[in-house]
Structure 1
Amino acid sequence: MFRTFIYNSNITYIKRGFCERRTVLNVIKKGDVGEKVSVQGWVKSLRKQKDLTFYDINDGSTVKNLQIIVQDKSHGKINVGSSVRADGILQKSPKGQNEVNAENLVLIGGCDLNEGYPFAPRKKYAPEYVREYLHLRPQTRRFGSLLRVRHGATVAFHKYLDQIGYVCIQTPIITSNDCEGAGEVFKVVPDNVDLLKSMVKENVPLENGFFDKKSFLTVSGQLHLEAAAHALQKVYCLGPTFRAENSKTRFHLAEFYMLEIEKGFLENLSELLQTTEDIIKKVTVSLLDTYMDDINVCANENMDFSWIDKPFNIITFTEAVDILNTKLNKPTSSKGGLLKEHELLLTEYFNNRPVFVINWPKDEKPFYMKEIDDSNVAAFDLLVPKIGELVGGSLRENDFNKLKSKIPDNSNLSWYLDLRKFGSVPTGGFGLGFERYIQLILGIDNIKDTIPFPRWPHNCEL
């Protein structure tokens, strides 16, 4: 008796009752004693005792390892790091945990520790050292846990936003505008000069030949989300953004991910603040409920999530400056914004709870933010402990004439003005730094250790 599965037009026959291959997570949680199972993964540790060899294997489905018992010591080529397949009978260990008494252990890919494998078993390494081996870093226990938490956060953001009626929009990575206007953009130019020469049009500079205009890697999907919000009302994106700034701090990357939302018919900044707070709290609670084992592996020991049950603080920019000048003795002015030092001091001042700083001087913020008077805009930064700014957002200027007077020259944003001509509505939204959020919930010091393959000035490995 056979079952037939069709995949890519190739037919595979699987006999009923055949030993089905399982994930380590499935075997640990749902395996029944006496069941015949087949698992595959990588050896994380091994030890030999008389005529038995004990292998701990992991396939990436969980932070926990599965113990495989082999009845002899004849598997000398199987070292830590090797990939294997184990077929055998599920049983309970003396501690009551599921383990496999292997009838068959197959070496899939060897790992000779003497040929330069950088991670010795049972040894801990500093993040700076592990970062030197980006292609092998996912194999370490801590970074494997981080990748699962990062996946969990991605799913949780999508799931929660879907539940509250937001539509996911895939905004472009290649764009003709610099949303923030700071000039920190990467220009997109084909590497093939002959191709460019064959495409260039009259009066178009050679370097602009492919699109007939300057084109960049996006710094934000916000402007495109505004276009979608004028039709779908509640929209968001979660994707890569790029900043060409010469910063090597522990908070900056040249390529990072942003969660951005935009909501139409939004006239009140307080509503946007509440939405921001709710999203962060709901997603964090979901992660703590689902990924606690992985969080415990890669988070700092003194993580404090008490802020989840408390309302975020709200102060104006003017009040923030006053606190820094008079109460914290860290003089600053209303010009130049807040330094990272100031941001961290403010969260400490509010007992390590997140704080919204609202109503910023308009000279400190981009052109698209809505004016509330001659000097200030309806904007906010959300500051969080040990990270500083996590989220930046605002109401958007929906007055056609005001926006037209503020749009930078040669910005290619006539289409953006059209949104204020044809069925215009007030909108607002925010951008949340995804990697900084991972730093927040795991207490990770350096943002380079929150993303699989980090890029920063002078470093673009792999």
Structure 2
Amino acid sequence: MFQGVVKRLCFAPNSSVSLYVRHFCKKSHRKLRISEAISSSSSSQLGVNITVQGWLRSVRPQKANIFLHVNDGSSLQSLQVVAGAELNNPLLTFGSAVEVSGVLKKSPHKTQPVELEADVIRVLGECNPVDFPFKIKKRHGLEYIRQFPHLRCRTNVFSSLLRIRSEATSAIHSYFKDNDFVQIHTPIITSNDCEGAGELFQVEPSSAHDGHFFSVPTFLTVSGQLHLEAMAGAFSKVYTFGPTFRAENSQSRRHLAEFYMVEAEISFTQSIEDLTKVMEDMFRSATEHVLAHCVEDVDLFHRHVTPGHRETVDGMLKKCFPVITYSEAVDILNRSSEQFAFPSDWGCDLKTEHEKYLVKHCGNVPVFVTDYPYDLKPFYARDNQDHPQHTAAAVDLLVPGVGELCGGSLREERLSVLRARLEELGLEDVNSWYLDLRRFGSVPHGGFGLGFERYLQCILGVDNIKDVIPFPRFSHSCVL
């Protein structure tokens, strides 16, 4: 009886009572995300008036009814909406933004747990399906949707990628938090070239300015490592997770001008094994978390984008990561029957083709390569002082389909050795502050960096790095 009174009062003439009741009626439609509505099949939500907001993924009009699928990005699945044909006014089109209110009911179809029986549909944003680059019920390839970085989040495959990326980010932060690392926000603008490769974006104000804005030349960071090392003088375990920049004139499938790096630094260690343990544990922890919390999204990739890759991921998680030295790696390459485009002699840097071969040789699981030639590594890598094979205490983690995922080393904590190295490279003046770290309470320490986009490529099997970042930046391309 009360419901009948409320219904009549909602349509009564304006009065203080009717205004209150109309507000009450509106409040009685509980607003749910699509993922919450879909998961309500066995809960008290059934039979309740709800409101959802999202974008139309499909529109199927019939004589008496119209069937819609609405998605708000919270789930790969869309919510089916059933409405009378009279609610198709204005005309509902694929891609439009809508707000739908109605009663959530158990669906008679086995393929979907619930459906929304609509009584009100409001178009919040129109979409012309003729001009919209993505077409209804068509599966577009990654290369095609890459042309529309401002719109590709509307596709199933890229919305899945973004949910996976978000969950992987949370998993990595959780790993470091659970293992007592302190997060450090390292600067984006810096006067240091950490890698010493000169692939820098210089930073200057757009308006005229006398001299350098910061009094010295400044650049977008290529790595937060040196700043982490400063923090490692007071904290035993630190990490950072943020954007880094390389002015590489490359159109390859493995490189970006802007990408995200996970970097960690550990004090009081003299062992490469301490670094490889963190790398392996973090990889396993994050991957297991993503597989457990993004089941449908990961399955979409492994079924339709990179079929068969799930077996590779499962294989990576089942086995311990083997460790070989650089010298052993060169020996494996030179004994193989493979025809490589680049030389694999001792002293040469390993190329992607070499890295991928080594991964396959070791059982198609991630493999650590240690003790690289000293001259191949940056000034901060610790000198093993193992003449005549002069090597550095450095390590790379190579993974299937990608090649190098992580790079790290023990850091040179010996002041005399570090100063000699900087003098040899002509870098002593610009790194005087770095020498101070060795003068005042220096301890043996080491660290590594992981390319986050390459990590996503690895676990999803995606070939092109531009397909695992929302807005890819590379030479001759900076859309948006």
- Rounded to whole Å, the distance in 2 between the matches of 1:328 and 1:149 is 39
SS of the counterpart of 2:439?
coil
Structure-1 separation of matches of 2:325 and 2:81: 59
CA distance, structure 2, for counterparts of residue 259 and residue 362 of structure 1: 24
Q: Could you tell me which residue of structure 2 aligns to residue 404 of structure 1?
A: 419
Q: Corresponding residue for 1:361?
A: 373
Structure with max Cα Rg: 2
Tell me the distance in 2 between the aligned counterparts of 1:289 and 1:133.
30
Q: CA deviation at 1:406?
A: 1.3
Q: Provide Cα deviations, 1:399-450, integer angstroms capped at 9, x if missing partner.
A: 0111111124355221111111111111111000000000001100100000
CA contact (8 A) 1:45 1:80 kept: yes
Alpha-carbon distance in structure 2 between the residues aligned to 1:76 and 1:143: 29
Matching residue of 1:181? 196
Deviates more, 1:382-391 or 1:17-26: 17-26
Q: Does residue 458 of the first structure (1) align with residue 476 of the second (2)?
A: yes
**Partner of residue 5, structure 1:** none
Residue 301 of structure 1 deviates from its aligned partner by: 1.4
Counterpart of 2:274 (choices 271, 274, 283) is: 271
SS at match of 1:146: helix
The answer to whether the 8 A contact 2:59-2:92 is kept is: no
Give 1:378's aligned amino acid.
A
How far 1:93 sits from its partner (Å)?
1.1
Match status 1:419 vs 2:437: yes
**Counterpart code for 1:409:** G
Residue equivalent to 2:175: 160
Q: Which residue of 1 aligns with 2:46?
A: 33
Output the CA distance in 2 between the equivalents of 1:95 and 1:264. 58
Deviation at 1:125, TM superposition (A): 2.0
Q: Tell me which moved more, 24-33 or 427-436.
A: 24-33
Pair 1:340-2:343 in alignment: no
Matching of residue 388 in structure 1 with residue 403 in structure 2? yes
Query: TM-score scaled to structure 1, two decimals?
Result: 0.92
Structure-1 residue corresponding to 2:28: 18
Residue 112 (1) aligns with residue 122 (2): no
The 5 Å alignment of 1:168-247 reads 168-193=183-208, 196-197=209-210, 206=211, 209-247=212-250
Q: Structure 1, residues 351-410: CA drift from partner, whole Å, max 9, x if none?
A: 211110000101000010011124111101111011000000010000011111112435
2:232 counterpart SS class: helix
Give the whole-Å Cα distance in 2 for the aligned partners of 1:406 and 1:15.
74
Which amino acid in 1 is paired with 2:325? Answer: T
- From 319, 325, 333, the equivalent of 1:316 is 325
User: What is the rounded CA distance, in whole Å, between the counterparts of 2:189 and 2:257 in structure 1?
Assistant: 15
Q: CA deviation at 1:313?
A: 1.0
Write the distance in 2 (CA, Å) between the matches of 1:172 and 1:128. Answer: 33
Instruction: Pick closer, same or farther for the CA change 1:48–1:77 going to 2, 3 Å.
Output: closer
How far, CA to CA, are the matches of 2:49 and 2:255 in structure 1? 49
Distance in 2 (alpha carbons) for counterparts of 1:14 and 1:291: 38
Matching residue of 1:282: 285
Q: Which residue of 2 aligns with 1:7?
A: none
Unaligned runs of 5+ in 1: 1-12, 198-205
Corresponding letter in the other structure for 2:33: T
Q: Which amino acid aligns with 2:331?
A: D
Counterpart AA for 2:142 = P
SS of equivalent residue, structure 2 residue 203: coil
Q: CA deviation at 1:77?
A: 2.2
In the TM superposition, residue 290 of structure 1 has moved relative to its aligned partner by 0.5
Which residue matches 2:383?
371
1:438 aligns with 2:451: no
Q: Say yes or no: does 1:292 pair with 2:281.
A: no
Please give the alpha-carbon distance, in whole angstroms, between the structure 2 residues aligned to 1:128 and 1:404.
Answer: 48
The alpha-carbon deviation at position 266 of structure 1 amounts to 1.2
> How many angstroms apart in 2 are the aligned matches of 1:428 and 1:77?
62
- How far apart are the structure 1 equivalents of 2:148 and 2:426? 45
2:62 touches 2:85 (CA, 8 Å); kept in 1? no
AA paired with 1:111? C
Q: Name 2:258's counterpart in structure 1.
A: 255
405-414 vs 175-184, which moves further = 405-414
Letter in 2 for 1:293: E
> For 1:44, which of 54, 57, 60 is the aligned residue?
57
Task: Select which of 85, 98, 103 maps to 2:119.
Answer: 103
Cα distance in 2, alignment partners of residues 50 and 95 from structure 1: 20
Letter in 2 for 1:28: I
What fraction of aligned residue pairs are identical, expressed as a percent? 45
Q: Aligned partners of 2:337, 2:395: CA distance in 1, in Å?
A: 21
- Structure 2 residue aligned with 1:6: none
Task: Say if 2:59 is the partner of 1:59.
Answer: no
Aligned equivalent of 1:301, options 286, 302, 307: 307
Deviations 1:283-318 (A, max 9, x none): 100110100111112341111221102100110000
Alpha-carbon distance in structure 1 between the residues aligned to 2:92 and 2:234: 59
CA offset digits 1:57-96 (Å, max 9, x no partner) = 0000111100011112433521000000000001011125
For 1:222 and 1:339, locate their aligned partners in 2 and report how far apart those are by CA, in whole Å: 23
Q: Which moved more, 1:209-218 or 1:296-305?
A: 296-305
Partners of 1:42 and 1:59 within 8 A in 2: yes
* Pair 1:151-2:154 in alignment: no
Structure 1 contact 77–110 (Cα < 8 Å) conserved? no
The whole-number CA distance in structure 1 between the counterparts of 2:153 and 2:94 is 15
> Aligned residue pairs: how many?
437
Question: Does structure 1 retain, via aligned residues, the 8 Å contact 2:29–2:51?
Answer: yes
- Distance in 2, Cα, partners of 1:398 & 1:160: 27
One-letter amino acid of the counterpart of residue 185, structure 2: Q
CA contact (8 A) 1:143 1:298 kept: no
SS of 1:370 mapped into structure 2: coil
Matched position secondary structure for 1:25: helix
Cα distance in 2 between the residues matched to 1:459 and 1:345? 31
RMSD: 1.5
Residue type of the alignment partner of 1:438 = L
Structure 1 window deviating more from structure 2 (168-177 vs 303-312): it is 303-312
Aligned to 1:4: none
